[in-house]
A and B are shown apart, each in its own frame.
Chain A
Amino acid sequence: MQVGLFIPCYIDQLYPQVGMATVRLLEKLDVTIEYPEEQTCCGQPMANTGLTEETAPLARKFFDIFEKYEYVVCPSGSCTAMVRHHYEEYLANVSGFDELKKKTFELCEFLTDVLKVDKIEGRFPHRVGLHQSCHGLRELRLASSSEVNGPSFNKARRLLESLDEIEFAELSRPDECCGFGGTFAVNEEAVSCMMGLDRIHDHEQAKTEVLTANDMSCLMHLQGLIRRNNKQIRVMHIAEILAGES
């Protein structure tokens, strides 16, 4: 199985360990990885500001780079959602785009839905607070959201649950937004930080030791607040936990 690894720009620049954990996790599951070095950014920050002209060449570039792979896997729900749900207006008529959408996966759903992984070997003897990153939740439907009346499921949690000795912190608001929201984090700084601090407070109440999510962007925001306020919560991307870091 030939996987093109799609590493979001901020993970490339700021969180290489998350990218490496993704590599180790996939290799452990016998996946062959290629990391195309020409990739930069999927264009989401520009698209979310409304700047389609800035986004279009990045979408095209993404397509050219990743078109040839059997699967494209990304350790971010948000960047995956950008490709699957928001490239339409840039690539709608490009042949091969529908295929690209269908073969692009967020890391956890790639494990559960494509590789059909039921169990991750290893142990993680900590109390984990799982943050539901919004785009993974409500765009990719990686879990059931609290607003919708239907069967309950959670792909990330199912994988985490298979680790030995793991415990979960149960939150009072299980899927409220952390307030990162891309450029929202700086445009609406006051509300963004209040949202983040409220999430952290919820995790403190639930006695979270390790705060995790499938989006490092949410975690970057939450970690920034945790460190500024000297809170005792550790932050790890879900790939790091699943890859066996302790």
Chain B
Amino acid sequence: MSSRDDILASVRRNAKTVAPDLPDLEADWIQYADLQQQFSEVIETVGGRCVAAESDHDINNALKAIPEYSSASKIASTIPGIGESNVSLSEIDDPHELEDVDFAILPGEFAVAENGAVWVTDKDLKQRAVMFITQHLVLVVPGGEIVPHMHAAYERLHFGPAGFGVFISGPSKTADIEQSLVIGAHGPRSLTVFLTSN
């Protein structure tokens, strides 16, 4: 018998139906009066930054005000009109070439108020490595696209064809040395989320 069949047989032999049905996921889940405010408060606590922006112009100005951005030499933006992109992600075949990217500016699909997370996918992104390898990450999320909690988040998500998606909540961090929080473990040293008004 193959290992597969062996394991499945052993599972079938041993399993008992203690719970015939799955629970529904309905409950009186937490609601927030102001989703934007909740999101931006939580993202601060996890080391990120949230900026409300009226227009692309606002975002570009806010970017210029970030010292690391003004001194950045490699900037990769996939959002037309936002950021002074000088790395064309769609032309990069080997993700290792992204090693020295300073800033990546990417769209986030929606945000989650309860935990400051943003859902980002590799739908129009040839090399998803850029989200993790860049020194600084900027996500641009429509301000109207904030759900209160993770249950609402999964109601929106459909995993059909192959693809990659990630909830990102703050910059890369570690507390593995004596529980001291250090921002910028392996990945981005900062995360800025722009919530746009349209």
A and B touch in the complex (CB under 8 A): no
Binding site for B on A (CB under 8 A): none
Binding site for A on B (CB under 8 A): none
